[in-house]
Amino acid sequence: MLPRRIKKIINTTILCCCASSAFAEKHDAYSYLNQLVSTHDGIGVRTSGSSAEKRTAKFISKTLSELGFKVENQPFEVKNKHHQFSSSNVIAELVNKELNNQDLPTIILGAHYDSKGDGSYGAIDNGTGVAAMLEIASIISKKPPKNYNIRFIAFGAEEIGISGSQHYVKQLTPQALSNIAGMINFDMIAGGDNMYVHSALAKPYPCGESEYIYNGAPLLRHAVARASKETLNSNRQFIVHPDFEGYPEGETGPWSDHFPFSCAGIPIAFIESTNFSINGLYGFDGLSQTSNPAFWDCFDTSSKGACNRETEKRWGIILHTQFDRLDKIEQAFPKRIKKQLNDSVSLISTFLLAPEKYLKLKY
């Protein structure tokens, strides 16, 4: 995550042996999450450009390859006055032997796999997004949709300038770009109090010079919301946030990997778990992810905010803090992570198995 949103390591042999023995052949999201973020037998902290980030890319690539996907590792360099390192995107899709995938409209499901560090293990930001993406890939591999190509992308270096997704979009040819029907972004999809689906701002993001026409249409958000109503119980459906200053109902800012896709004219849906009913550090903007008092110095239930706004330091924020560890989140919210992962997997796999049903498009 970028500012304003505020948004150990074991060797490859140990990872393959220990992780596989502890979570043998399990293709469910919670098992993948443990292999990514566990402080005991997972990869753990995955800061951008680190050896752990590279190990994570190898783990994701190996997992997708074993599921039958054609996998491409797309390296890129991050160079600015503060950082200089290499990272990579992991891109995967099934090869349709009966029909060239290039003839089908493509929907991208993306999630960044690096973490912030600074005491944070990146369990929710964004181990949850990657873990759910991998289970959805497992489901799609068994019965891919007939009318769409589904492309899975694990983005590197999101925490440093959304670098991976920006690199991916920049290298697309106009023809390849025109074939992308939409992009679903998984970022922090579990851990917060509620589940939301957003579209990009209708007012264009600061895209800089671009030959493409910005796309802030809520088409994909509406489609995912329709699938949510059909797939999940009423008390677990994905919702849209209410209006708040600068961000109209259901719209989100440019602080994650959906940003470059919107700038390139592609409709997006951004899935996240947080709590827009909290009067947080910057108001009702979803930065405060939970009202659980364990994540506040003092939470006032009547005002739904800090007891003292001048002295509050925690603000119900999990991402980029020492709270973003699976063990600490499980202690505060027993079974929440698994339930929210299961809901995201159920919803998005249902949608991706028959996108035309919810998009109301004919190809």
Write the pLDDT tens digit of every residue in 167-199. Answer: 999 999 999 999 999 999 999 999 999 999 999
Q: The domain that contains 350 carries what CATH number?
A: 3.40.630.10
- Predicted pLDDT at 17: 41
Which of 110, 129, 127 lies closest to 46, judged by CA? Answer: 127
Which of 125, 123, 93, 103 lies closest to 112, judged by CA? Answer: 125
Among 10-14, 59-63, 335-339, 353-357, where is mean pLDDT lowest? Answer: 10-14
CA dihedral 253, 258, 259, 263 (to 10 degrees): -120
70 within domain boundaries: yes
Chain position carrying tokens 């951004």: 270
Residues 6+ apart with CB under 8 A from 215: 200, 262, 264, 265, 266, 267, 268
Percentage of the chain exceeding pLDDT 90: 84
Which of 239, 162, 249, 271 lies closest to 201, judged by CA? Answer: 249
Work out the angle between the directed axes of helices 51-66 and 128-142 (0-180°, nearest 10). Answer: 20
Question: Mean pLDDT, to the nearest integer, of 228-248?
Answer: 94
Residues linked to residue 195 through DSSP beta bridges, in sequence order: 273
Q: In which element (H, E) is residue 195 found? A: strand 194-200
- Predicted pLDDT at 81: 82
Q: What whole-number distance in Å separates Cα of residue 361 and Cα of residue 363?
A: 7
Q: What whole-number distance in Å separates Cα of residue 46 and Cα of residue 36?
A: 9
> How many distinct structural domains can be found in the chain?
1
34 within domain boundaries: no
Mean of the per-residue pLDDT values of the chain: 91
Question: Mean pLDDT, to the nearest integer, of 295-316?
Answer: 98
Q: In which element (H, E) is residue 219 found? A: helix 219-231
Burial of 226 (0-12, 13-18, 19+ CB in 10 A): middle
Contact 189, 270 (CB under 8 A): no
20 within domain boundaries: no
- Cβ neighbour number for residue 32 with a 10 Å cutoff: 28
Question: Mean pLDDT, to the nearest integer, of 319-336?
Answer: 96
Q: In which element (H, E) is residue 196 found? A: strand 194-200
Instruction: Describe the chain by its helix, strand, coil percentages, rounded to 5.
Output: 35, 20, 45
246 within domain boundaries: yes
pLDDT, one tens digit per residue, over 20-68 is 334 345 679 999 999 999 988 899 999 999 999 999 999 999 999 999 9
Which of 17, 56, 16 lies closest to 36, judged by CA? Answer: 56
Q: What whole-number distance in Å separates Cα of residue 144 and Cα of residue 14?
A: 33
DSSP structural state of residue 151? E
| Per-position DSSP letters for 238-297, written without gaps between them | -B-PPPBTTB-TTEE-S-STTHHHHHTT--EEEEEEE-TTSBBTTBSSS------GGGSS
Work out the widest C-alpha separation in the chain, in whole angstroms. 63
Contact 38, 330 (CB under 8 A): no
Question: Is residue 224 predicted with pLDDT exceeding 70?
Answer: yes
3 within domain boundaries: no
Please report which confidence band the pLDDT of residue 100 belongs to, taking 50, 70 and 90 as the band edges: low
Among 10-14, 277-281, 355-359, where is mean pLDDT lowest? Answer: 10-14
Contact 263, 214 (CB under 8 A): yes
- Predicted pLDDT at 362: 42
Q: Which residue has the higher pLDDT, 109 or 9?
A: 109
Question: Mean pLDDT, to the nearest integer, of 285-291?
Answer: 97
18 within domain boundaries: no
CA distances to 193, 207, 289, 339, 354 from 274, in Å? 5, 26, 4, 15, 28
Please report which confidence band the pLDDT of residue 83 belongs to, taking 50, 70 and 90 as the band edges: confident
345 within domain boundaries: yes
Chain position carrying tokens 């994909």: 220
Question: Is residue 279 predicted with pLDDT exceeding 80?
Answer: yes
Full residue range of the structural domain in which residue 144 is found: 44-359
9 within domain boundaries: no
Contact 197, 228 (CB under 8 A): yes
Percentage of the chain exceeding pLDDT 70: 90
